[in-house]
Every structure is written in structure tokens, then in C-alpha cells.
Structure 1
Amino acid sequence: MTSSEKPSLDPHPLSPYVAWAGERNREPILELFKERFPKSEGNVLEFASGSGMHIHYFAPNFPYLSFQPSDVNEEVFENIRELTKKTQVKNVQPPIKLDLTQPQTWSALIGQKFDAIFCINIFQVAPISIADGMMNCAVNYLSDRGSLFIYGPFKVDGSYTTPSNEEFDTTLLSYKVPAWGLKDVVDITKAGQKYGLALKEKVDMLSHNFTLIYSLS
């Protein structure tokens, strides 16, 4: 298989499919972050870091920021630590366990504030209920200037924005996994409003995806 060929759908964070998708989307996301991330010292948290591919790609571009990877699945921590060694990136911290559905796991964040929190390609394979925990966690640990960035494919007001997104959703639903399928921006935004986070911007991205940017309302 060449790097341009699309592997079979597999949401496991260490799968060839996730690596392929990550390589395709990382540069457009980085360009957005260069525009929107703080220009001075601060802290950045990634929800659901998976293999760590994104955080290690972004961090060298922001040497004045400290990046904190996290994931519910401790199986990926070795890969994250190995990437840190391999890339010799100095501003990525050791990974921590965060389960957005279990607030007791957020104790690792106590005493910290983050100037940016980001999450990439999670909602198409996670239940919409995770949005509640994500917003609750974010509002507790964002700094006053901080924003939450959520990247991925979404429906908007109950509709598909492109035929390709409808086709992707059909593929996801065909696997009969209850959590799989495109989620609606409206539902994620309702979860944010519950905790005082407002959708400030919906940015069009590569492959008909979006970055949703939430901050304190």
C-alpha cells in the first residue's frame, strides 16, 4: 500500500487508517492553530491524543507553549512516549489518563489552566453523550483567554453539508456500531451552552470537515 492509498476504516488510534487520516489533515489544522493559538507562554491540552501524531507535529511550531497529551486508553501511552523520544520534541509532557465521561479522572488537571484545548476526529466514532463531559471538563480547565477546538466531519442542522459526508456517514452506520456516525454541530453546541461555552466560529476545513471553536460566553 502506498501512502496515498486509503486503508480500510479502523478507528483504533494505532491503525493505518488513523495514521493516513492524520497525515492528510495535520497541515491545515496546524495553519489554523498558528492563527488562533496564544502568541505567548501558555499551556495546551489535547483530548483523545491517540497515537500522539498530532500533538508531536504541532508542538515544535509553538516552542513557548507546553502541550499535554491525554487519552482514556492507556494502551497508547507507550506510543506517545516513544514519539517524544524519537522526535526529541521538548514541549510535550508525558501522557495522562482522561476519561471525559468520568470526572474523577480529571484530577490530573487540578491546579492547571489551558489556553487552548483541542480534539481531532473523535465524534464520528464516539457517542454524542461525550460532548457533555468534554464541555464540562473544558470549562473547568480553560483559562479566561482559552478556546476549545473540535475538528472533524459533522452534520449541520440535521443535514449533510456535502454528498461525500453523507457517503461517509452511510459507511460508518453500515458497521452497526451504536456510537458511530456523524454528529450534529447543534447537539455539540447545546452541550457547550449548558456549561457556558459558546460556539464562536465554525471554520471550513479540508475534505469538507470543520473546526468548531468554543470559548466562554
Structure 2
Amino acid sequence: MTRPKPPLDPHPLSPYVSWAGHRNRDPILDVFRQRFPEQAGDVLEFASGSGMHINYFAPHFPHLRFQPSDLNEHALENIARVSWEKEVENVDKPILLDLAREDTWPSPATRLYDVIFVINIFQVAPIAVADGMMKCAAELLHKDGFLFVYGPFKDHGQYLTDSNQEFDAMVQSAGVDEWGLKDIADLETAARNHALKLTEKLLMPANNYGLMFGRS
């Protein structure tokens, strides 16, 4: 049965975020099945929120270690609780990581990652976060690693569909500064500033993109 769509609410523990997460998790998993390392490795999620995605993906890749992170202390508690309840053994204790504050970033001398991913943050995050995301990813990725960014975006000023334009208008109608669809072109600019580049642009269900970034 299709779950009814709750009112828009970007809080990581909201019913809306849970609804969106259940809708997109399997298409994202299909991408990860094709591109994740086949041998032992490490995966970091930026902005893990409730932990629904990382705790869903991890059991499908028992050979990988998954590191959740978020800037919200309540979210960190929830992530750990979900891991415990679901008995997910390859998800590590969540860490505080704010992409806008370099002092919260983990040291690359301690651990590097084969994959970093982030899901559905930019419609409610300042585009300035993209610079921190790219810089942090450039520091923490192995030389052959990649960053995967999922969500709705404009593409060089154009909407993918009319429904994306309507969604953008709805998000902006909340009257919160920086809410609204961001442009792939701005993410590409941020990536270039940190020696990364867009290597693949995947069209995903529900009019979303999966953006793959690697070293240039």
C-alpha cells in the first residue's frame, strides 16, 4: 500500500522525511549495488538524519563498514537506536559532522572512505554547504573513491519536469531563506574548487538526480 504523503517538513525525524526516504531507498540501493566496492571498504554518509538510509543499505553490503554522521545531536541518538533495534552490525557509532564547520570534520589520517553519499539535503540547505561538502569529501575520499549526491535539482537553470518546478515553488513558499532547489552547475563549481568533478549524472525515479563526483 502506498503511504500517504505527509505535509512538507525537513526535520530529519519528521513523517515527511520518513515518507520520502522509503520512496527513494530502493532506487538508490540499485545504484549502490552496481558501484560499491566488492571488497572490504568504508562508506561515510553526510547528514544521516534519522539513520533510515544507512541502516537500510548496510545489511546489503556486509563486507563494508558504514559511518553515519549528522550535525544534530538528537539525530545521532536516533541513528544509534535504529542500528541497535535492527541489529545492524556494520554501522559504526554516529559522529557529529557539520559540513559548515571544519573543526567537526574527522581526520583523514584516521580513516579514508571508498564512498561518501548524501541524500536529499539541498532543497533545505544553503548552497554554501556544497563547498564544505566538496572540500570534506576531497579530504576523506580514497584516490579512487566517489561522492554520490541524491535529490531534486535544477540543471543549469532548467527544471527536469514541471512537477520539479512546482515542488520548488512549494518549498520556497515556506518563506525560509535558502529553501528551494539548487542547481547542479553550482555543485560542479564547488567540486572544481576542490579538485573534484562530476563524472556521472543519473536520472532517478520521482524526477531526482544521482550525481557522482570523483577526483579530476
Q: Quick check: TM above 0.5? A: yes
Alignment length, in residue pairs? 216
Deviation, structure 1 residue 3: 5.4
Map of 1:98 onto structure 2: 97
**Percent identity between the two aligned chains:** 55
Amino acid at match of 1:162: T
The correspondence of residues 1-217 of structure 1 with structure 2, limited to 5 A, is 4-107=3-106, 110-217=109-216
Determine the C-alpha separation between the residues in 2 that align with 1:101 and 1:110: 20
1:109 CA drift (Å): 5.4
Equivalent position SS for 2:185 = helix
Would you say the 8 A contact 2:12–2:75 is kept in 1? Answer: yes
Taking the aligned partners of 2:2 and 2:109, their CA distance within structure 1 comes to 41
8 Å CA contact 1:100–1:133 kept in 2: the answer is yes
Contact 1:96 1:108 in 2 (8 A): no
* In 2: Cα distance, 1:213 partner to 1:178 partner: 27
Unaligned runs of 5+ in 2: none
Residue 107 of structure 1: how far off its partner (Å):
3.4
CA distance, structure 2, for counterparts of residue 112 and residue 84 of structure 1: 21
Describe the SS at the equivalent of 2:106.
Answer: helix
Q: Which runs of 5+ in 1 are unaligned?
A: none
Conservation of the 8 A alpha-carbon contact between 2:108 and 2:139: no
8 Å contact 1:3–1:20 — kept in the other structure?
Answer: no
* TM-score, length of structure 2 as denominator length: 0.98
**2:184 partner amino acid:** V
TM-aligned CA distance change 1:156 to 1:215, over 3 Å: same
* AA partner of residue 125 (structure 1): V
Residue 99 of structure 1 aligns to a residue in which SS? coil
